Amino acid sequence: MPDTQGSIHGQWSSRFVFILAAVGSAVGLGNIWKFPYITGENGGGAFVLVYLICIALIGVPIMMAEILMGRRGRRSPINTMRALVAEEKAHPAWRWLGWLGVVTGLLILSYYSVIAGWALAYVFRAGAGLFTGANADAASALFKDLLGSPESMLAWHTIFMAMTGAVVARGVRGGLEKAVTVLMPALFALLVVLVLYALYEGDFGRGFAFLFHPDISKVFQHCELLESGVKSCRFNGEPLLIALGHAFFTLSLGMGAIMVYGSYMPGNASIARATLTIVVADTTAALLAGLAIFPIVFANGLEPASGPGLVFQTLPIAFGAMPGGRFFGMLFFVLLVFAAWTSAISLIEPAVAWLVENRGMRRVSATFGVGVLAWFLGIGSVLSFNLWSGESFQLLGKTWFDLLDYLTANILLPLGGLFIALFAGWVMSRSASRGELRLGDGLGYRTWRFLVRYVSPALVVIVFFNAIGLI
């Protein structure tokens, strides 16, 4: 397969644009909404440490694998897998990997859009001055108010899904390039402003220690007081699975989003350098968000483990107290919506690209069909926070939203990533992967191959077995 030949969907105009788009996909609600709240729920520092280890040993090599497979296949993930299977004369069962990714992307998009809808709602709340002078109780009340109104959550979810569809229908390149160049740096700048605010007005010391002081016993030990009065502790591996799953989620790995963007990547660009940039940007955004949020949590006596509402209940306190807070608050939520938007686009693109390639559908119709499906599934997540929050609507103690989030982030993405690593490491020939990576045959290439063949798959399998109680 000559790599000078681009994808039928077009090609990014430069190496830089590929990086921008991939950073746009990676940096999103995962960094600013999800990372802080799961860190809060899982006890802080030790969880963050495991997450960072997963990023380095699993995220980096698998991201390189996904990009190189996409660029070699030059098609939507489903057809890329088909092409690579043909090229390597591999077993046809590998083609399922593409399908797994498409389904996972749709499931994630369905609830991602609901949370992005919260951010949209908050743009207007900030603009209306509702944060002014808000204390912790007022900020919580404001959030509960939104959750209590399925109609307005549904409306915002619908608007966000329509926004996503509007961009995807026109093809990923139209408009996206310019917007990402300006708005992404603005989001980073505003995160820095928030960290500075937290430094002066929050309990920065405690927030910092919570994030970076790894207290293993707090995270991985589950203790009970027995009837005899003896305290009994056992190892609790669940945070391992959540940290692993989040490493995939935050880097957009394991479902073909990065693969499909890789298929639009010019042949002469360095995959290793692109990966490094994407990973550093994504990790920085998450850590900045944590540094902005936890000092405010502690200074206001809030509960770090308060769940998916954490960001929406803490940042309004900061905006309500800082000079120019109305403007900054609005700007922040606008940028958050934008970050979510560029991620949502990559969640839907594999499915749309496939419908265009194989069903000969027009981009507009394909986008409409897929968007409506994801929108419909999203209604379950809207209701999870109100009408369906009760126990009678739960399965395995989880609401529809919790269940989808758990299934996709902690199971489907790591599973997809595991098979991507195995395919790139064991099925693809050395000459194929070496040719795409262009690292020569030196230490860099050999380290990558070792990680992708042994280390990443083994770690994913160990964490899985641990979660289902086998180890």
Q: Which residues bind Na ion (CB under 5 A)?
A: 26, 30-31, 250, 282
Q: Does 439 bind ligand PHE (CB under 6 A)?
A: no
Rounded Cα–Cα distance for residues 184 and 181 (Å): 6
281 touches 24 (CB < 8 A): no
From the CB of 257, what's the least distance to ligand PHE, in Å?
4
Take residue 311 and report the two structure tokens written for it: 């960001």
From the CB of 138, what's the least distance to ligand PHE, in Å?
28
From the CB of 393, what's the least distance to ligand PHE, in Å?
26
Per DSSP bridges, beta strands 231-235 and 221-225 are antiparallel
From the CB of 115, what's the least distance to Na ion, in Å?
13
Chain position carrying tokens 């995962």 = 30
Q: How many CB atoms lie within 10 A of CB 391?
A: 7
Q: Which is nearer to Na ion, 139 or 257 (CB)?
A: 257
Beta strand spans in 262-303 (E)? none
Rounded Cα–Cα distance for residues 87 and 75 (Å): 14
Q: Which is nearer to ligand PHE, 136 or 412 (CB)?
A: 412
Q: Which does 255 bind (CB under 5 to 8 A by kind): ligand PHE, Na ion, none?
A: ligand PHE
Chain position carrying tokens 């990547």 = 265
Q: Does 28 bind ligand PHE (CB under 6 A)?
A: yes
Q: How far is CA 16 from CA 23, 270, 340, 444, in A?
A: 11, 11, 20, 22
Rounded Cα–Cα distance for residues 326 and 348 (Å): 33
What burial letters (b/e) apply to 396-422, b meaning 16+ CB within 10 Å?
eeebbbbbbbbbbbbebbbbbbbbbbb
Rounded Cα–Cα distance for residues 58 and 455 (Å): 8
Give the up-direction half-sphere exposure of residue 390: CA atoms within 13 A in the CB hemisphere: 2
From the CB of 418, what's the least distance to Na ion, in Å?
20
Q: Which is nearer to ligand PHE, 70 or 202 (CB)?
A: 70
From the CB of 340, what's the least distance to ligand PHE, in Å?
7
DSSP 398: B
Q: How many helices (DSSP H) and strands (DSSP E) are in the chain?
A: 23, 2
Task: Pick the piece of the chain touching ligand PHE (CB under 6 A) from 23-31, 291-299, 397-405, 422-430.
Answer: 23-31
Site string for ligand PHE, 57-96 (x = CB under 6 A): ----------------------------------------
49 touches 265 (CB < 8 A): no
User: With contacts defined by CB under 6 A, how many residues of the chain interact with ligand PHE?
Assistant: 15
Among 22, 26, 65, 287, binds ligand PHE (CB under 6 A): 26
Among 11, 17, 24, 25, binds ligand PHE (CB under 6 A): 25
Would you say how long the chain is, in residues? 471
Site string for ligand PHE, 323-362 (x = CB under 6 A): --------------------x--xx---------------
Q: Which does 249 bind (CB under 5 to 8 A by kind): Na ion, ligand PHE, none?
A: ligand PHE
From the CB of 426, what's the least distance to Na ion, in Å?
28
Which residue's Cβ has the minimum distance to ligand PHE? 30
Among 76, 79, 140, 252, binds ligand PHE (CB under 6 A): 252
Amino acid at 57: L
Q: Is 222 helix (H, G, I), strand (E, B) or coil?
A: strand
Amino acid at 318: A
Rounded Cα–Cα distance for residues 354 and 26 (Å): 21
Q: Does 250 bind ligand PHE (CB under 6 A)?
A: yes
From the CB of 256, what's the least distance to ligand PHE, in Å?
8
Q: Which is nearer to Na ion, 286 or 428 (CB)?
A: 286
Q: Does 287 bind ligand PHE (CB under 6 A)?
A: no
Q: What is the dihedral of CA 356, 339, 403, 232, to 10 degrees?
A: 140
Among 20, 29, 123, 383, binds ligand PHE (CB under 6 A): 29
Among 111, 249, 319, 375, binds ligand PHE (CB under 6 A): 249
Q: Which does 384 bind (CB under 5 to 8 A by kind): Na ion, ligand PHE, none?
A: none
From the CB of 172, what's the least distance to ligand PHE, in Å?
13
Q: Which residues of this protein are in contact with ligand PHE, per CB under 6 A?
A: 25-26, 28-31, 108, 249-250, 252, 255, 257, 343, 346-347
